[in-house]
Structure 1
Amino acid sequence: MKRIIVPIDFSEQSEYALKTAARLAKKHDAEILVLHMLEIDNLALTASASRLGEQTVYFLKIAEQRFEKFLNKPYLKDVKITPIIKHFKVFSEVNDVAKEREADIIIMGSHGTSGVQEMFIGSNTEKVVRNSEIPVLVVKNNIPDINFEVIVLACDFSKESMAPYINTVKMFEKIVSKIYVVHVNLPNEKFRSSVELEKRAVDFFNKADGHLKRMEDVHYVADYTVDEGILSFSNKYGADLIVMPTHGRKGLAHFFQGSVSEDVVNHSTLPVLTLKI
């Protein structure tokens, strides 16, 4: 791990993410790219070029001043920090910065949303999760230690979920005490019997690992939604981190089908790591 991106808006949640990134950076001798997005509103975009230039310069200066104060923290001592200010309109373009800078992970703070706000407005974190091609770690609280000991990995034993599973094991198996692989069985057309689930799991681990040692860590949970099942299991077994593969659905597919990963990110109080399928 060489570069960590932390998008900030100078909020308390941003600082939770920055503290987490600092601990991770010290362990891996990594650089933190602290990113602030100047979201230019529609009114500004319709202004004349000279007027828009004046506004941009004004907001850049304010952001630079806030950066200096925000980054003046003891926990950032001996950490390589690179402040970046972009005047994009939408947070989905954080992925562009990640690709440009060859970042390994994005760490974001989040308030979480619910109800009407979640459906029609969403959150900047949601947009990043939906569009990012690299892992996104979402935190909502101060994490005293990033030595995640108990991890819950959501898995449906499909071919698509194999790469996220393999990446998660490689990333964490040497530093955690337990990785639970959890499948949520739903009461709809996706319901499968215990025998069917067992067969899918055996086939999955034979292809992914070449053995069945991980079968002892598999749990089948019955619930009405995948996110409810994952969150209930995680709370019951004292998880430190939830890992969610995501398709990153966009447009109408996202609106009508939703994204399980985004639902978990919104409703979980635990840190959530999303991995693009």
Structure 2
Amino acid sequence: MKKIIVPVDFSDHSKYALESAAILAKKYNAEIFALHMLEMSETILSQGEADIQSETIFFLKLAENRFNEFLDLDFLKDVKVTPIVKHFKVFSEVNDVAKEHNVDLIVMGSHGSSGLKEIFVGSNTEKVVRHAEIPVLVVKNKPTTLSFDNVVFASDFSEETVTPYLNASKLFETLGSNLHLVYINTPGDNFSSTSEMEKTVANFLQKADGNLDKLSEVQFISDYSVEKGVLNYANVSGADAIAVATHGRTGFTHFLAGSISEDIANHAALPVVTFRIK
């Protein structure tokens, strides 16, 4: 892990993300790209070209000054930090910046959300998670330490999650983590018998790893929902973080289908790392 990007909106939660990134940067000698997206108002955009240019420069300078002040933090000392200011607040652009700089990980702070606000508005973190093609680490709290010794990887072990699993395995191997594979069995239409679960996981591991060496290590957990099962298992197993695959749904499809991974990222107290299903 050599490059980490952190979207910054000057909130406490983006500061938590920066501090988490700093811990990782010091441990792995990585560079941090601190990204602030400046939201230009419709009033500015409707003005003449000359007015837009002068006012844009003014707001960019204002943002850069505030950005530099915000980045003057003790925990960033001895860390290489490259500030980036973009003109528009378009959350898919975080992924574009990450690709441009060949970044390995996005770190975002999130306060989590619930109820109608979560359904209709969502959070900035969710928007980045939906578009990101690289892993996204979501943190909720000020980090005292940031460990990835034991990571729970929750999956339905479908064929489409093979690539996220391989990406997670690669990342956490470089971090020296123990990756614990978990299958959550729920009542209703998604219920599976023991033999059905084992067959699904065996087919998955054969395709992903080319062997069944990890089959005996997979945990089969029953709970009322996937989210509850993942969070409860992570709690009782003493996990340091949770890893999940995400479809990256957007728009009305996301509203109808929802995303279990985003629910977990929203509600988990632990850091959550998402991996995009391609």
TM-score range, shorter chain: over 0.9
Residues 41, 89 of structure 1: 8 Å contact kept: no
Instruction: Look up the SS of the partner of 1:157 in the other structure.
Output: coil
Instruction: Look up the SS of the partner of 1:36 in the other structure.
Output: strand
Residues 172, 178 of structure 2: 8 Å contact kept: no
Deviations 1:175-202 (A, max 9, x none): 5563221112222322211110011112
Partner of 2:95: 95
Pair 1:259-2:259 in alignment: yes
Superposition pairs of residues 26-37 of structure 1, within 5 angstroms: 26-37=26-37
Residues 106, 135 of structure 1: 8 Å contact kept: yes
Instruction: Give the letter aligned to residue 19 of structure 1.
Output: E
Residues 3, 105 of structure 2: 8 Å contact kept: yes
TM-score by length of 2: 0.92
Partner of 1:124: 124
Instruction: Look up the SS of the partner of 1:85 in the other structure.
Output: strand
Residues 9, 36 of structure 1: 8 Å contact kept: yes
Instruction: Give the letter aligned to residue 115 of structure 2.
Output: G
Stretch deviating more after TM superposition (203-212 or 60-69)? 203-212
Instruction: Give the letter aligned to residue 171 of structure 2.
Output: M
User: What is the rounded CA distance, in whole Å, between the counterparts of 1:27 and 1:257 in structure 2?
Assistant: 39
Residues 150, 176 of structure 1: 8 Å contact kept: no
Alpha-carbon offset, residue 86 of structure 1:
0.3
Q: CA RMSD of the aligned region, Å?
A: 1.8
Residues 147, 176 of structure 1: 8 Å contact kept: no
Deviations 1:89-139 (A, max 9, x none): 322221111112221111111111111110111111110000011111111
Q: How many residues align?
A: 277
Instruction: Look up the SS of the partner of 1:134 in the other structure.
Output: coil
Residues 17, 109 of structure 2: 8 Å contact kept: yes
User: What is the rounded CA distance, in whole Å, between the counterparts of 1:162 and 1:87 in structure 2?
Assistant: 37
Partner of 1:68: 68
Instruction: Give the letter aligned to residue 275 of structure 1.
Output: F
User: What is the rounded CA distance, in whole Å, between the counterparts of 2:55 and 2:226 in structure 1?
Assistant: 45
Residues 179, 217 of structure 1: 8 Å contact kept: no
Partner of 1:183: 183
Identity, % of aligned positions: 53
Residues 13, 141 of structure 1: 8 Å contact kept: yes
Could you say if the C-alpha distance between residues 151 and 116 of structure 1 is closer, same or farther in structure 2, counting changes exceeding 3 Å?
Answer: same
Instruction: Give the letter aligned to residue 146 of structure 1.
Output: L
Instruction: Give the letter aligned to residue 149 of structure 1.
Output: D
Stretch deviating more after TM superposition (257-266 or 171-180)? 171-180
Could you say if the C-alpha distance between residues 135 and 66 of structure 1 is closer, same or farther in structure 2, counting changes exceeding 3 Å?
Answer: same
Partner of 2:55: 55
Partner of 2:215: 215
User: What is the rounded CA distance, in whole Å, between the counterparts of 1:276 and 1:179 in structure 2?
Assistant: 18
Stretch deviating more after TM superposition (244-253 or 180-189)? 180-189
Partner of 1:204: 204
Alpha-carbon offset, residue 16 of structure 1:
1.0
Alpha-carbon offset, residue 47 of structure 1:
3.4
Pair 1:139-2:145 in alignment: no
Instruction: Look up the SS of the partner of 2:201 in the other structure.
Output: helix
Alpha-carbon offset, residue 231 of structure 1:
1.3
Superposition pairs of residues 262-273 of structure 1, within 5 angstroms: 262-273=262-273
Alpha-carbon offset, residue 42 of structure 1:
3.4
User: What is the rounded CA distance, in whole Å, between the counterparts of 1:259 and 1:40 in structure 2?
Assistant: 30
Residues 137, 274 of structure 1: 8 Å contact kept: yes
Deviations 1:23-73 (A, max 9, x none): 212222221110001122334333333443343223222211222221112
Partner of 2:248: 248
